[in-house]
Amino acid sequence: MEKIQQAARIIASSSDVLVFSGAGVSAESGIPTFRGEGGLWERYPANIYANLPGLAGVFLLSKDRIASFFSDALRPLVEAKPNPAHEALARLEEAGKISAIVTQNIDDLHLAAGSREVLEVHGSAYRVRCSRCGSREGRSRKDINDVLDKLDVPTVSRRQMISALNEFAGKCLCGGRYRPDVVFFGESLPMDTIEEAADRASRCDCLISVGTSVLVYPAATVPAIASSCGARVIDINPTETTLSSTADVFVKMEAGKAMPAIADEVLRMTN
Ligand code: OAD
């Protein structure tokens, strides 16, 4: 509990607290992380499945493998609900104790929990983006479930799969095709979002890194910028990360246990 107290004292005494979150925040909502035991990239190697040419290649070799990847990656997402970590972060924002969350997650659970200032640096599973003009459109959980149901039929043909995916994506008014508004490996991050994240990181006086291995760049520059600009750093993770040894406090716990305890302490200290 000493680490919880230390983290709470730092947050309570800071004036601009930025959060950097990753897959671990949503692990207790039932969404697997990417790396480590049971991670998505263990079952589906990232060098193949995390980029569009790789996915196209797998589709040609085995349509069943693509259907199982989409199902394993997206079913947990659409079934997930915010957990106590998301809720605690939303409570802290509501109380004026955190200014924004920079998230690498595409699951929209911070927004679902009530957080308002959320910068999705890797995009969102619930949006598509026109590949010609860049305009964006929302897609619901039901839209995603419907397309997964069509892909999951064992007798589905490749042609039927392509038509289900095209129907889900749809066409933009400009005539361009929509694609998922998520960042695949090798693609650029949304420039306006990552610039705002970097700007906020340079201004904050405390950065909470929670549920992330802090291994994927350029997103991982966010805590590096904050730290190099003098912010105090809190790392919350059940296992060590690239930040743990240099962080001001390393809270070696699951986010769903640590965040509510920290939020309770911060609110007790500041009320
Ligand atoms: P990773 O899978 O790399 O790391 C997840 C982190 O969560 C690990 O450090 C775990 O120890 C930690 N963790 C697991 N359970 C936890 C819990 N209950 N509470 C807190 N932490 C827990 O996921 P990210 O760091 O988010 O990018 O990965 C960053 C990016 O790599 C993702 O956005 C994705 C991926 O490839 C793209 O696809 C572009």
| Same domain? 153 vs 246 | no
Does 253 lie in the same domain as 194?
Answer: yes
- Active-site amino acid positions: 122
- Show which of 138, 165, 182 is a domain's final residue: 182
Mutate to test the pocket of ligand 1, among 101, 104, 241 (most ligand atoms within 8 A of CB): 104
Mean pLDDT on 84-90: 98
Q: Are residues 75 and 193 in the same domain?
A: no
Residues 145 and 261 in one domain: no
Q: How is residue 144 annotated by DSSP?
A: H
pLDDT tens digits, 9-58: 999 999 999 999 999 999 999 999 999 888 999 999 999 999 989 999 99
Please state the pTM of the whole predicted model.
Answer: 0.97
In a shared domain, residues 71 and 198: no
Nearest CA to ligand 1 atom 16: 24
β-pairing, 232-236 with 249-251?
A: parallel
Q: How far is the CA of 129 from the centre of ligand 1 (A)?
A: 24
pLDDT for residue 6 is more than 90: yes
* The pLDDT of residue 150 is above 90: yes
Residues 106-130 pLDDT 10s? 999 999 999 999 999 999 999 999 9
Output the pLDDT for position 271: 84
Calculate how far, in angstroms, residue 244's C-alpha sits from the geometric centre of ligand 1.
Answer: 14
Q: For 153-195, what is each residue's pLDDT tens digit? A: 989 999 999 999 999 999 999 999 999 999 999 999 999 999 9
How far apart, in whole angstroms, are the C-alpha atoms of residue 34 and residue 83?
Answer: 18
Are 117 and 171 found together in one domain? no
Whole-number pLDDT of residue 254 = 98
Residue among 237, 243, 244 whose CB has most ligand 1 atoms within 8 A, to mutate: 237
**18 touches 10 (CB < 8 A):** no
The burial of 10, by beta-carbon neighbours within 10 Å (0-12 exposed, 13-18 middle, 19 or more buried), is given as: buried
Question: pLDDT confidence of 1, banded at 50, 70, 90?
Answer: confident
String of b and e for 90-114 (b: at least 16 CB within 10 Å)? bbbbeeebbbbbbbbbbbbbbbebe
SS3 of residue 8 by DSSP: helix
Number of domains in the chain: 2
What pLDDT is attached to residue 36?
84
Q: Based on the domain organization, do 75 and 194 belong to the same domain?
A: no
Q: What is the pLDDT of residue 46?
A: 94
Q: Which domain holds residue 66?
A: 32-79+126-182
Residue 225 reports pLDDT greater than 90: yes
Please state, for a pLDDT cut of 90, what percent of the chain lies above it: 97
Tell the residue nearest (CA) to atom 29 of ligand 1.
216
Tens digit of pLDDT for each residue in 204-214? 999 999 999 99
| Residues near ligand 1 (Cβ within 6 A) | 22-24, 27-28, 33-36, 39, 46, 50, 104, 122, 183, 211-213, 215-216, 237-239, 241, 254-256
pLDDT of residue 167: 94
255 with 200, same domain: the answer is yes
